[in-house]
A and B are shown apart, each in its own frame.
Chain A
Amino acid sequence: DIQMTQSPSSLSASLGDRVTITCRASRGIGDSLAWYQQKPGEVPKVLIYAASTLHPGVPSRFRGSGSGTDFTLTISSLQPEDFATYYCQKYGSAPQTFGQGTKVEIK
């Protein structure tokens, strides 16, 4: 089975900072990669799919890139509402493994 490794597991950043989260697949998955955001006590929400397609309504400061085995989620200028945990997920064929998550905290 394909494993998804996300890094870092947590990070501290200030408002306005550029933040980068990486996700690595143990084998190539093309562009079948989604990113989710989850705030405490809330249901996860999809941000990006097909590695780089922004879900409708998601601010343009979020950007997804990559293909094959290496993927990146970038937040260009961190806003107060962006403090949350972010997960990558390989989708399409099963198993549809999630990464371990990256908690973005206020510095």
Chain B
Amino acid sequence: EVQLVESGGDLVQPGGSLTLSCAASGFNIGVNYMTWVRQAPGKGLEWVSVMYADGSRYYADSVKGRFTISRDNSKNTLYLEMNSLRVEDTAIYYCARDGPSSISYYVAYFWGQGTLVTVSS
């Protein structure tokens, strides 16, 4: 069974840093597309970052240069390192994985429960 468990969310001051973790089970993150999606309070979904199986990484313009996605295959865990945090980064951060068949590759098919990041002074 695929499971994704995010952790690391916290209250942090503007300009601060935080690293989120997404612990995966039931599959090997090294062979799948993994993505981070966030949702500010009362707002819509915003795509944040993606790491493909080949290791390539991409970021939304709103976080480029401040956030870094990475993975540790030995721990089967995905990370999102967040620096220079801003008030507008306040959101629930979800990690997600793509589907099991070619037609669902690159779709946010399996989701974690999310972790809350609050940026405030």
Contact = CB atoms under 8 A, between A and B. Distances in A.
Interface of A: 1, 32, 34, 36, 38, 43-46, 49-50, 53, 55, 85, 87, 89, 91-92, 94-101
A17 B2 CA distance: 35
A38 B106 CA distance: 19
26 contacts: A1-B61, A32-B106, A36-B108, A38-B45, A44-B37, A44-B45, A44-B94, A46-B108, A49-B109, A50-B104, A53-B103, A53-B104, A87-B45, A89-B47, A89-B108, A92-B106, A95-B58, A95-B60, A96-B47, A96-B50, A96-B106, A96-B108, A98-B47, A100-B44, A101-B44, A101-B45
A95 B60 CA distance: 6
Contacts of B58: 94-95
Interface centre among B46, B60, B107 (most CB of A within 10 A): B107
Interface in B44-84: 44-47, 50, 58-61
A37 to B, nearest CB: 11
B interface, how many residues as a size bin? Answer: 20 to 34
